[in-house]
Structure 1
Amino acid sequence: MQYWLFKSEPDEYSIDSLKAEKNSIGRWDGIRNYQARNLIRDDIKVGDGVLFYHSSCKTVGIAGFASVVSEPYPDPLQFDPESKYFDIKATQDKPRWVSIDIKYESHAKSFLPLTTIKATPALDDMVLVKRSRLSIQPVSKDQWAFIVNATKTDLQR
């Protein structure tokens, strides 16, 4: 099992949005960064844990937890000319972008803001702290365990 941090702007798609989806399963789509795409396509597996991170808002940080519940598949938004994620170079035979489904596990019982993450020595090596622009980032098992404990969240992982 691996662990990941997925960033989303809460006014676009929040931990509450994921929880409200049918069966609390949502499609993680609209990724248009090659490095993040490659992580979804090549590294992220069913059963992996996800830190759900709210970004580009008043208080950024870890809002909850999810798990990966599908293999990667072509992002349907790349084929929709009405979507802001439409890609004229993508075809059904040669899709360029992938999506993955994640399932809501829980809200963080105590929201963990980025300011706290950056001030915590045990999290100094997080990709989030070193290069925070990537929307999907690996998280170590120790970082995952620390964050679960810091958010006072009871997860069976």
Structure 2
Amino acid sequence: MHLAAILETELPWPDEAAAQSSAEKLAAALLPSPNALIELHGPLGAGKTTFTRLLLRALGVQGRIKSPSYAVMESYELPSGGVASHFDFYRFGDPREWEDAGFRDVFAAPGLKVCEWPEKAAGQLPPPDLQLFIELLPDDSRRVRAVGVPRLVEALS
């Protein structure tokens, strides 16, 4: 992310339909060949994996979309061509595990990378194109702060 080109906006997600709408808008901005790093921040149960599933569906991924909690990474072929990789770094105890897992090549290649718990790989990831900070509110709705490159943040607005 280039410091001169960062936008920020706040999105209300009163329900899953609102999250789905955001996922569909983001997918439209990413197509035809998604190539971005998206970081998802938020506590357990905030909806990071749900949002990733909604985004992958909006990009045309068919079949089962698994949580990468144990595998750390799940990859999906996109119908438009290219690959989307979903990462969950929750179980990392040390950011160097990212390097040990061999992810440098994955991140160097084109494609969509969606990362849950990116802070667990601190200092290893390239600069993100979009960060979503998902806050779980007492009424089970979400408030999302989107920070990133203008074309992606504007797509969510």
Say whether the fold is shared (TM-score over 0.5): no
* Structure of larger gyration radius: 1
TM-score by length of 1: 0.25
TM-score by length of 2: 0.25
